[in-house]
Homo-oligomer: A and B are copies of this chain.
Amino acid sequence: MDLDLAQLRALDATVRGGTLEAAARALRVTPSAISQRLRALEVATGRILLVRSKPVQLTGSGQAVLRLARQVDLLTADVARELGGDPAGPEHVPILPIAVNADSMATWVLPALAPLAGEVGFDLHREDQEHTSALLRAGTVMAAVTADADPVPGCTSTPLGGMRYRPMATPAFARRWFPAGPTPEALAHAPVVVFDRKDDLQHRWLQAHAGRDAAPPAHFVPASADFVAAVTLGLGWGMVPDLQARGDAAHLVVLDPAASVDVVLHWQQWRLRSATLDRVREAVLAGAGRELDPVA
């Protein structure tokens, strides 16, 4: 295949912006130049890469070529920095798409990434346990902070540390619903806050303590900081990470000091020798070392 850097960049920008017009603005060329490059790339690969919907959609072949485009872009930016010049123009900042689980994004990941924010553009995706491996495989993200330890084919996996979740509530909520502590009877009736349908942290603990049939009223609050806000406002009890029991949530009480669930997080990334990706990896590992519990 005889591939052209400008064509690969047109594909990347089109997927990022969603339309040929947005890609044209980002690359400062005309939409018809983008269109020509995409067509040339499809001729060179012999495959349809994009469905021209709004926003555009990648075909299976398109995903493979996008993954290539992003690797080439990152490696080019690395070399440019090493050589002290920048063939792609002074403003070319490589963009790193990373999947991050919601609770990490709400706590330790952003402070860890902040020092690199001037040299890398972070394109964060909300990690969804079931889809993260698909995102890594498809080339939508280059790396992930995930509870999934098994490396996706073509990726490495490094343990980061653990987040400890404990059942918490406001003191007033605990007095009203758990006057005698979290007994099975009290747990069967006390409202509980749950992140979403896939979040089984609350119900795992609930069923271990109150039996399989416990089905108290539940509130679903599908955003990490808002989930903790709901517990802090007294909507229910919930499994709150120790890392998030700060600020307004610092006055939450732990319902059962003996109860905790540890979720071990991992850094998965493409096998790719890139100085930029290595720096991001180091920053994430350092942040995890400061904030997460060491893995036994």
Contact = CB atoms under 8 A, between A and B. Distances in A.
A64 interface: no
B226 A225 contact: yes
Interface in A187-225: 188-189, 191, 197, 212-213, 215-225
B121 A191 contact: yes
Interface string A168-197: 000000000000000000001101000001
Given A219-B122, A247-B247, A212 B105 contact: no
Contact size range, A: 35 or more
Interface stretch (A31-39, A152-160, A232-240, A263-271): A232-240
Contacts of A235: 110, 113-114, 117, 122
Given A114-B235, A117-B234, A105 B215 contact: no
A207 to B, nearest CB: 9
A85 interface: no
A259 interface: no
A93 interface: yes
B212 A117 contact: no
A225 B28 contact: no
A123 interface: yes
B18 A197 contact: yes
Interface string A76-102: 000000000000000101010000001
A164 interface: no
A224 to B, nearest CB: 7
